């Protein structure tokens, strides 16, 4: 009886160990789950058969990966508190990540979410130590190279198109890294100017708007004044052309007249000289009210003859 009592605790221990070992010998896989089996720290198998599966208890370690689950990695910020049924999650900024330079060396704050699925469980578990950190580094490399070629306005407004441009390049880079994931989507949650820069940017926008307004006014003034100025210029040009034609014609007439006079003069110099003298005196004397002839002969006597004596008494 004493021996039976001494054996009983041992049997209980053996049975308990057997039950525990039995519970540790099986694991269950759901649909779209993979089990990576490790034995003494080394991977020995990958199981994707759903349902109850066997493993060696106490020796094999099972790491189950859901290949259908969508995972998310935040860039530029991190959740500081989790969401609850009564409150939204809170986030904190990561300044080293979120500050990015655009074309022209303008700073913007970037916040993004990268969504992915695990498609190669062994690669995901063993190729890198920090999967999320490696994915952020890959995204940062692609992001900064893309944003630095974007104008500030384009970076602030067209964030969705920039995200679409980044997606294939990011997929190729994580493939080169052997992360064992497939990138599903890249979304920018924020593309904003830093708070200290926003005021200066607003001033620039105001100045640009004023520039546009003044440019429009100047164009309107130009459109109003230019037709009148062109008409006036055309009128002056026409008058100048007419004046030119008149003077040229007059000059040609004077030349022709001079040539005719010269021909007469050349043929009869004395007669022409007298005729010119008489014509000239006739022109001059016709404009003079009082006329006198004074002749000084060789004897020193002055002969004075008024041609209109009635004008002397006036």
**Based on the structure, what is the number of domains in the chain?**
4
Confidence of residue 294 (pLDDT cuts 50, 70, 90): low
Q: How far is CA 23 from CA 17, 19, 39, in A?
A: 10, 6, 18
The number of angstroms, rounded, from the C-alpha of 101 to the middle of its chain's C-alpha atoms is: 14
Q: How many beta carbons lie within 10 A of that of residue 34, not counting itself?
A: 20
CATH number for the domain harbouring residue 152: 3.30.479.30
Classify each residue of 266-286 as buried b or exposed e, where b means 16 or more C-beta atoms within 10 Å of its C-beta: eeeeeebeeeeeeeeeeeeee
Same domain, yes or no, for 118 and 152?
Answer: yes
131-147 helix and 159-177 helix, angle to the nearest 10 degrees: 130
Mean pLDDT for 272-291 is: 78
Residues 25, 58 share a domain:
yes
Quick one: 180 and 109 in the same domain?
Answer: yes
Residue 146: per-residue pLDDT: 93
Task: Judge if 182 and 234 occupy the same domain.
Answer: no
* Cβ atoms < 10 Å from Cβ of 55: 20
Per-residue pLDDT of 118-162, as tens digits, reads: 999 999 999 998 999 999 999 999 999 999 999 888 888 899 999
Confidence grade of residue 314 (pLDDT, cut at 50, 70, 90): very low
Structural domain containing residue 45? 2-66
- The Cα 21–Cα 24 span in angstroms is 5
The mean pLDDT value for 225-249 works out to 88
**Neighbouring residues of 293: CB distance < 8 A, sequence distance ≥ 6:** 303, 304, 305, 307
Are residue 76 and residue 169 in the same domain, yes or no? Answer: yes
Task: Indicate whether 123 and 184 sit together in one domain.
Answer: yes
* Per-residue pLDDT at 13: 67
Distance CA(120)–CA(174), nearest Å, equals 12
- Average pLDDT of the segment spanning 193-199: 73
- Looking at 174, 193, 212, the residue that finishes a domain is 193
- In the predicted structure, residue 182 carries a pLDDT above the cut 90: yes
> 10 Å Cβ neighbour count for 180?
23
pTM for the whole structure: 0.59
134 and 77 in a common domain:
yes
109 and 171 share a domain?
A: yes
Q: Does residue 111 sit in the same domain as residue 188?
A: yes
**77 & 181 share domain:** yes
**pLDDT digit string (tens) for 34-61?**
888 888 888 888 888 888 888 878 788 8
Q: Is the pLDDT of residue 249 over 70?
A: yes
């Amino acid at each position: 009886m004493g021996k039976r009592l001494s054996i009983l605790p041992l049997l209980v221990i053996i049975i308990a160990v057997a039950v525990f070992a039995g519970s540790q010998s099986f694991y269950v896989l759901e649909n779209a789950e993979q089990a990576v089996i490790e034995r003494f720290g080394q991977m020995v198998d990958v199981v994707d058969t759903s349902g109850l599966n066997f493993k060696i208890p106490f020796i094999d370690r099972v790491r189950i990966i859901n290949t259908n689950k969508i995972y998310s990695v935040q860039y530029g910020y991190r959740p500081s508190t989790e969401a609850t049924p009564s409150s939204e999650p809170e986030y904190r900024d990561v300044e080293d990540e979120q500050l990015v330079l655009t074309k022209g060396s303008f700073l913007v704050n970037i916040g993004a979410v990268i969504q992915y699925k695990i498609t190669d469980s062994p690669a995901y578990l063993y190729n890198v130590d920090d999967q999320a950190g490696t994915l952020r580094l890959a995204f940062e490399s692609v992001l900064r190279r893309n944003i630095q070629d974007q104008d500030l306005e384009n970076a602030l407004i067209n964030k969705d198109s920039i995200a679409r441009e980044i997606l294939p390049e990011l997929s190729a880079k994580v493939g080169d890294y052997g992360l064992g994931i497939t990138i599903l989507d890249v979304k920018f949650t924020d593309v904003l100017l830093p708070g200290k820069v926003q005021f200066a940017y607003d001033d620039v926008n105001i100045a640009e708007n004023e520039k546009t307004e003044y440019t429009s006014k100047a164009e309107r003034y130009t459109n109003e004044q230019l037709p009148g100025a062109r008409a006036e210029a055309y009128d002056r040009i026409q008058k100048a052309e007419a004046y030119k034609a008149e003077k040229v014609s007059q000059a040609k007439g004077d030349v022709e007249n001079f040539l005719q006079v010269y021909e007469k003069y050349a043929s009869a110099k004395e007669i022409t000289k007298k005729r010119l003298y008489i014509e000239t005196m006739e022109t001059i004397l016709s404009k003079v009210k009082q006329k006198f002839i004074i002749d000084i002969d060789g004897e020193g006597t002055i002969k004075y003859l008024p041609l209109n004596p009635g004008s002397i008494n006036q």
